[in-house]
Chain A
Amino acid sequence: KAGVTQTPRYLIKTRGQQVTLSCSPISGHRSVSWYQQTPGQGLQFLFEYFSETQRNKGNFPGRFSGRQFSNSRSEMNVSTLELGDSALYLCASSSGRIQETQYFGPGTRLLVL
């Protein structure tokens, strides 16, 4: 079974731009969660999508948004990029039942200049 895939793997943007990251979950999984990982703050939860609906949301500003498609693939968007948005963005998929194991993808490394 193929794992979680994320595209692109690396991205360089400048302040003020926007960016869209993509995540394809494990086949059959219906829940996709997004996390931001930085050296200073560690891994922080952004949001979770299940059946095309946002089910949980972390404490991030509205510039961070996401969506999920009918095939469970998910995208997250960051608008008006700031230098502090430079991070590894990780996607995790699970079956969708609460407390089920989450499997992480390799991440997208975003650098904002």
Chain B
Amino acid sequence: QKEVEQDPGPLSVPEGAIVSLNCTYSNSAFQYFMWYRQYSRKGPELLMYTYSSGNKEDGRFTAQVDKSSKYISLFIRDSQPSDSATYLCAMNNNAGNMLTFGGGTRLMVKP
């Protein structure tokens, strides 16, 4: 079993929908949680960075972390066709800059 599990999708939604993306993890040492967006043939781009449990909002994006359930989420409000990409969750512990990634969820937002 992988340390970080993520539904690969694809997830197809209409423009304007609220999108929910999720990851579960097994390593309780993870303290820092990130969401990256990756367009085809590009490197991952950081969207959200959170520490420990709680919510963080940035524009149309909201990240949630529930450490007791080992579960993190990314919500995208008013989704746009330009949001179509692969979304990767990533996390690490206090030991260094080694990120452990989920497998990514492919999102398609239809006009």
Contacts and interface: CB of A to CB of B under 8 A. Distances in A.
A48 B43 contact: no
B43 A105 contact: yes
A104 B36 CA distance: 10
Nearest to B6: A42
A4 interface: yes
A81 B103 CA distance: 24
Given A103-B46, A107-B43, A48 B32 contact: no
Interface residues of A: mostly helix, strand, loop or mixed? strand
Interface residues of A, number: 25
A90 interface: yes
Given A43-B88, A101-B46, A103-B46, A56 B102 contact: no
13 contacts: A33-B97, A33-B99, A42-B103, A43-B90, A43-B104, A44-B101, A48-B96, A48-B98, A55-B97, A56-B95, A99-B32, A100-B97, A106-B41
B43 A106 contact: yes
A104 B45 contact: yes
A106 to B, nearest CB: 5
